[in-house]
A = this chain, B = another copy of it.
């Protein structure tokens, strides 16, 4: 079943053309994660798979800002858990917080990410949540493109819906 979901994720998101990647390199293939997140039928199935990977005792769901908030909302509606969105930087006004939503001290957090290649953004979000008194119970990646390894090496429990490691 995960193989079938993996096939649908790739089919929805893999674009063919002439692309400049964020690294500056050119590529004939671009993986556009927004494509699978923006399809409600696919998002619903992905959210159900993510929910199935949540351990007992999770009290809050979090994600970095950006594309992953589409996933965060879908999983929260499935699981009935409050959401936290983690900004890249602290906001300068209002709550002056790096976390938006319903963060609480003592929160037992499942941190969700759509795709992770290096783990950097996820690790930064995890640190921010820990800084607010939360515990990261699990990190769930929809697509692990290599990010799971450094996150596990940093001591986190990491689950992924599908693993699509880039070929070197």
Interface residues of A (CB under 8 A from B): 15, 19-22, 24, 30, 32, 34-35, 37-41, 43-44, 65-67, 69-74, 76-77, 79-85, 92-96, 100-102
Contacts and interface: CB of A to CB of B under 8 A. Distances in A.
Count chain B CB atoms within 10 A of each CB in A65, A71, A94 and give the residue with the most. Answer: A94
Interface of A is mostly: mixed
B20 A93 contact: yes
Q: Which of A19, A38, A81, A96 has the most CB of B within 10 A?
A: A38
Given A43-B76, A70-B73, A94 B37 contact: no
Contact of A34 (B37, B67, B101): B101
Nearest to A66: B65
Q: Which of A15, A32, A76, A92 has the most CB of B within 10 A?
A: A76
Contact of A82 (B39, B76, B96): B39
A21 B102 contact: no
Given A20-B93, A32-B94, 6 more contacts: A19-B93, A22-B93, A37-B73, A38-B83, A39-B82, A65-B66
B77 A40 contact: yes
